[in-house]
Structure 1
Amino acid sequence: MLKEGLVFSQEKIVQENETAAVLGSGGVDVFSTPMLIAFMENTAYKLVQEHLEEGESTVGTVVNIEHLKANLVGDKLKCQATLKKIEGKKLEFEVSVSFGEETVGKGNHTRYIVNLEKFLGKLKR
Protein backbone atom coordinates (compact mmCIF):
# COMPACT_ATOMS: atom_id res chain seq x y z
CA MET A 1 0.00 0.00 0.00
CA LEU A 2 1.32 3.39 -0.98
CA LYS A 3 1.64 5.67 2.06
CA GLU A 4 3.61 8.67 3.21
CA GLY A 5 6.78 7.83 5.09
CA LEU A 6 7.86 4.89 2.93
CA VAL A 7 11.67 4.72 2.58
CA PHE A 8 13.89 2.89 0.11
CA SER A 9 17.65 2.95 -0.35
CA GLN A 10 20.10 1.41 -2.79
CA GLU A 11 23.81 1.51 -3.48
CA LYS A 12 25.96 1.85 -6.58
CA ILE A 13 29.60 2.07 -7.56
CA VAL A 14 30.53 5.10 -9.70
CA GLN A 15 31.42 3.91 -13.22
CA GLU A 16 33.73 5.50 -15.81
CA ASN A 17 30.82 6.17 -18.18
CA GLU A 18 29.08 8.27 -15.49
CA THR A 19 31.66 11.05 -15.22
CA ALA A 20 31.08 14.67 -16.16
CA ALA A 21 33.86 14.44 -18.76
CA VAL A 22 32.27 11.46 -20.51
CA LEU A 23 28.72 12.83 -20.40
CA GLY A 24 29.76 16.29 -21.50
CA SER A 25 28.28 18.04 -18.48
CA GLY A 26 31.76 19.15 -17.44
CA GLY A 27 35.41 18.43 -18.07
CA VAL A 28 36.33 16.51 -14.93
CA ASP A 29 36.47 12.75 -14.32
CA VAL A 30 34.07 12.81 -11.35
CA PHE A 31 30.51 11.52 -10.87
CA SER A 32 28.32 13.82 -12.95
CA THR A 33 25.31 15.76 -11.75
CA PRO A 34 23.05 14.20 -14.43
CA MET A 35 23.97 10.73 -13.12
CA LEU A 36 23.40 11.86 -9.53
CA ILE A 37 19.91 12.99 -10.53
CA ALA A 38 19.28 9.72 -12.38
CA PHE A 39 20.33 7.75 -9.28
CA MET A 40 17.92 9.79 -7.15
CA GLU A 41 15.05 9.40 -9.63
CA ASN A 42 15.64 5.66 -9.94
CA THR A 43 15.58 5.26 -6.16
CA ALA A 44 12.26 7.14 -5.88
CA TYR A 45 10.85 5.14 -8.79
CA LYS A 46 11.81 1.83 -7.17
CA LEU A 47 10.38 2.96 -3.82
CA VAL A 48 6.82 3.16 -5.14
CA GLN A 49 6.72 0.84 -8.13
CA GLU A 50 5.84 -2.32 -6.15
CA HIS A 51 2.96 -0.48 -4.46
CA LEU A 52 1.20 0.53 -7.69
CA GLU A 53 -1.59 -1.22 -9.56
CA GLU A 54 -0.77 -3.39 -12.56
CA GLY A 55 -0.38 -1.20 -15.63
CA GLU A 56 0.71 1.82 -13.61
CA SER A 57 4.11 3.44 -13.27
CA THR A 58 5.48 6.85 -12.36
CA VAL A 59 7.11 9.62 -14.35
CA GLY A 60 9.45 12.25 -12.95
CA THR A 61 8.45 15.87 -13.41
CA VAL A 62 10.46 17.98 -10.96
CA VAL A 63 13.99 17.67 -9.62
CA ASN A 64 15.38 20.24 -7.20
CA ILE A 65 18.72 19.05 -5.83
CA GLU A 66 22.08 20.26 -4.64
CA HIS A 67 25.23 18.39 -5.74
CA LEU A 68 27.49 19.06 -2.77
CA LYS A 69 30.53 16.81 -3.14
CA ALA A 70 32.52 15.27 -5.99
CA ASN A 71 33.12 11.53 -6.22
CA LEU A 72 35.64 9.46 -8.12
CA VAL A 73 35.14 6.38 -10.27
CA GLY A 74 34.97 3.40 -7.93
CA ASP A 75 33.36 5.26 -5.02
CA LYS A 76 30.40 3.45 -3.42
CA LEU A 77 27.37 5.72 -3.08
CA LYS A 78 24.10 5.18 -1.23
CA CYS A 79 20.85 6.87 -2.20
CA GLN A 80 17.79 7.11 0.03
CA ALA A 81 14.34 8.25 -1.03
CA THR A 82 11.50 9.03 1.37
CA LEU A 83 7.92 9.50 0.18
CA LYS A 84 6.97 12.74 1.96
CA LYS A 85 3.59 13.62 0.46
CA ILE A 86 0.83 12.07 -1.65
CA GLU A 87 -1.67 14.37 -3.39
CA GLY A 88 -3.82 12.20 -5.63
CA LYS A 89 -1.43 11.01 -8.35
CA LYS A 90 1.30 13.46 -7.33
CA LEU A 91 4.11 12.01 -5.21
CA GLU A 92 6.72 14.17 -3.49
CA PHE A 93 10.02 12.71 -2.30
CA GLU A 94 13.00 13.78 -0.24
CA VAL A 95 16.16 12.27 -1.74
CA SER A 96 19.76 12.13 -0.62
CA VAL A 97 23.00 10.50 -1.71
CA SER A 98 25.87 9.78 0.64
CA PHE A 99 29.46 8.56 0.46
CA GLY A 100 30.19 7.05 3.83
CA GLU A 101 29.08 9.67 6.35
CA GLU A 102 29.28 12.58 3.87
CA THR A 103 26.26 13.94 2.02
CA VAL A 104 27.00 14.06 -1.72
CA GLY A 105 23.62 15.42 -2.82
CA LYS A 106 20.20 16.17 -1.44
CA GLY A 107 16.91 17.65 -2.47
CA ASN A 108 13.34 17.03 -3.56
CA HIS A 109 11.80 15.14 -6.43
CA THR A 110 8.23 14.94 -7.76
CA ARG A 111 6.74 12.03 -9.68
CA TYR A 112 3.22 11.36 -11.00
CA ILE A 113 1.42 8.04 -11.16
CA VAL A 114 0.35 7.26 -14.71
CA ASN A 115 -1.58 4.51 -16.43
CA LEU A 116 1.02 3.37 -18.96
CA GLU A 117 -1.45 2.55 -21.74
CA LYS A 118 -3.18 5.94 -21.50
CA PHE A 119 0.08 7.82 -21.05
CA LEU A 120 1.76 6.24 -24.06
CA GLY A 121 -1.45 6.44 -26.11
CA LYS A 122 -1.42 10.22 -25.80
CA LEU A 123 2.08 10.31 -27.30
CA LYS A 124 1.35 8.28 -30.42
CA ARG A 125 1.45 10.34 -33.56
Structure 2
Amino acid sequence: MAGQLTAGLTAKVQLTVGDADTAQALGSGDVPVLATPRVVALAEAATVAATARALDSGQTTVGVRVELDHRAATPIGRLVTAEALLTKVDGRKLFFDVTVRDGETVAAEGKVERVLVDRSRFLEKAME
Protein backbone atom coordinates (compact mmCIF):
# COMPACT_ATOMS: atom_id res chain seq x y z
CA MET A 1 0.00 0.00 0.00
CA ALA A 2 2.90 2.42 0.67
CA GLY A 3 4.86 1.58 -2.47
CA GLN A 4 5.33 5.15 -3.76
CA LEU A 5 6.01 6.62 -0.34
CA THR A 6 9.73 6.78 0.33
CA ALA A 7 11.89 8.66 2.77
CA GLY A 8 13.05 11.99 1.41
CA LEU A 9 9.70 13.41 0.29
CA THR A 10 9.40 17.06 1.34
CA ALA A 11 6.99 19.96 1.15
CA LYS A 12 6.66 23.50 2.41
CA VAL A 13 3.50 25.42 3.25
CA GLN A 14 3.28 29.07 4.22
CA LEU A 15 0.98 31.21 6.33
CA THR A 16 0.82 34.93 6.91
CA VAL A 17 -0.22 35.17 10.54
CA GLY A 18 -3.60 36.84 10.92
CA ASP A 19 -5.91 37.66 13.81
CA ALA A 20 -7.66 34.27 13.51
CA ASP A 21 -4.32 32.45 13.96
CA THR A 22 -3.50 33.91 17.37
CA ALA A 23 -3.54 32.34 20.81
CA GLN A 24 -6.25 34.85 21.76
CA ALA A 25 -8.49 33.76 18.89
CA LEU A 26 -7.96 30.02 19.40
CA GLY A 27 -8.25 30.09 23.18
CA SER A 28 -4.78 28.68 23.79
CA GLY A 29 -3.53 31.83 25.50
CA ASP A 30 -4.22 35.51 25.84
CA VAL A 31 -1.55 37.04 23.62
CA PRO A 32 -1.86 38.16 19.97
CA VAL A 33 0.85 35.87 18.54
CA LEU A 34 0.75 32.69 16.45
CA ALA A 35 -1.01 30.03 18.52
CA THR A 36 0.57 26.66 19.18
CA PRO A 37 -2.51 24.79 17.84
CA ARG A 38 -2.17 26.75 14.58
CA VAL A 39 1.53 25.84 14.42
CA VAL A 40 0.59 22.17 14.82
CA ALA A 41 -2.01 22.46 12.03
CA LEU A 42 0.53 24.14 9.76
CA ALA A 43 3.11 21.42 10.44
CA GLU A 44 0.53 18.74 9.67
CA ALA A 45 -0.45 20.54 6.46
CA ALA A 46 3.18 20.31 5.35
CA THR A 47 3.21 16.55 6.00
CA VAL A 48 0.01 16.13 3.98
CA ALA A 49 1.52 18.12 1.12
CA ALA A 50 4.72 16.04 1.22
CA THR A 51 2.84 12.82 0.50
CA ALA A 52 -0.05 14.08 -1.65
CA ARG A 53 1.54 13.35 -5.03
CA ALA A 54 2.76 9.89 -3.98
CA LEU A 55 -0.60 8.49 -2.85
CA ASP A 56 -2.71 6.19 -4.97
CA SER A 57 -6.29 7.16 -5.72
CA GLY A 58 -8.44 6.36 -2.70
CA GLN A 59 -5.56 6.65 -0.22
CA THR A 60 -5.03 9.31 2.38
CA THR A 61 -3.04 9.74 5.57
CA VAL A 62 -4.26 10.57 9.04
CA GLY A 63 -2.28 12.12 11.85
CA VAL A 64 -1.77 9.97 14.94
CA ARG A 65 1.04 11.70 16.87
CA VAL A 66 2.59 15.14 17.07
CA GLU A 67 5.59 16.12 19.17
CA LEU A 68 6.37 19.81 18.78
CA ASP A 69 8.53 22.38 20.55
CA HIS A 70 7.14 25.88 20.01
CA ARG A 71 10.30 27.94 20.52
CA ALA A 72 9.55 31.52 19.44
CA ALA A 73 6.59 33.88 19.32
CA THR A 74 5.46 35.09 15.90
CA PRO A 75 3.44 38.32 15.69
CA ILE A 76 0.52 39.07 13.37
CA GLY A 77 1.60 39.94 9.83
CA ARG A 78 4.66 37.70 9.70
CA LEU A 79 5.07 34.99 7.06
CA VAL A 80 5.87 31.57 8.53
CA THR A 81 6.98 28.53 6.55
CA ALA A 82 6.47 24.94 7.67
CA GLU A 83 8.66 22.30 6.07
CA ALA A 84 8.11 18.57 6.42
CA LEU A 85 10.58 15.81 5.58
CA LEU A 86 9.42 12.19 5.42
CA THR A 87 12.22 10.44 7.29
CA LYS A 88 10.92 6.88 7.56
CA VAL A 89 8.23 4.60 6.15
CA ASP A 90 7.40 1.57 8.29
CA GLY A 91 4.54 -0.32 6.65
CA ARG A 92 1.62 2.10 6.81
CA LYS A 93 3.34 4.35 9.39
CA LEU A 94 4.96 7.55 8.11
CA PHE A 95 7.41 9.54 10.22
CA PHE A 96 8.21 13.20 9.54
CA ASP A 97 10.56 15.84 10.86
CA VAL A 98 8.95 19.28 10.75
CA THR A 99 10.36 22.78 11.11
CA VAL A 100 8.41 26.03 11.20
CA ARG A 101 10.40 29.18 10.47
CA ASP A 102 9.68 32.87 10.86
CA GLY A 103 12.30 34.18 8.46
CA GLU A 104 15.57 32.71 9.72
CA THR A 105 14.20 32.06 13.20
CA VAL A 106 13.10 28.51 14.03
CA ALA A 107 9.70 29.15 15.58
CA ALA A 108 8.91 25.45 16.11
CA GLU A 109 10.27 22.01 15.35
CA GLY A 110 9.32 18.46 16.02
CA LYS A 111 8.01 15.18 14.70
CA VAL A 112 4.71 14.07 13.18
CA GLU A 113 3.52 10.51 12.68
CA ARG A 114 0.81 9.71 10.15
CA VAL A 115 -0.77 6.45 9.01
CA LEU A 116 -1.66 5.54 5.44
CA VAL A 117 -5.32 4.48 5.11
CA ASP A 118 -7.94 3.67 2.53
CA ARG A 119 -10.14 6.78 2.56
CA SER A 120 -13.48 4.96 2.06
CA ARG A 121 -12.83 2.29 4.68
CA PHE A 122 -11.57 4.90 7.14
CA LEU A 123 -14.69 7.04 6.73
CA GLU A 124 -17.01 4.03 6.95
CA LYS A 125 -15.40 2.97 10.21
CA ALA A 126 -15.51 6.51 11.59
CA MET A 127 -19.24 6.78 10.89
CA GLU A 128 -20.16 3.49 12.61
Q: Tell me the TM-score normalized by structure 1.
A: 0.97
Alignment match, 1:11: 14
Map Cα deviations across residues 45-90 of structure 1 (whole Å, 9 max, x no partner). 1110110110010000000000000011110011110000000110
Aligned to 1:107: 110
The aligned amino acid for 1:107 is G
For the residue of structure 2 that corresponds to 1:28, the secondary structure is coil
Percent identity between matched residues is 34
**Distance in 2 of aligned mates of 1:112 and 1:10:** 20
Using the alignment, how far apart are the partners of 2:64 and 2:5 within structure 1?
Answer: 19
Deviations 1:83-109 (A, max 9, x none): 000001100000000111110000000
Work out the number of aligned pairs and report it.
Answer: 125
Matched residue, 2:84: 81
Gaps of 5+ in 2: none
1:20-66 CA distance string (max 9 Å, x none): 01111000010000000000001001110110110010000000000
Aligned runs of 1:1-125 on 2, under 5 Å? 1-125=4-128
Q: Which amino acid aligns with 2:35?
A: S
| Displacement over 3 Å in runs of 4+ | none
Root-mean-square deviation (Å): 0.8
How far the C-alpha of 1:10 sits from its partner, in A, is 2.0
Give distance in 2, aligned partners of 1:73 and 1:99.
11
Unaligned runs of 5+ in 1: none
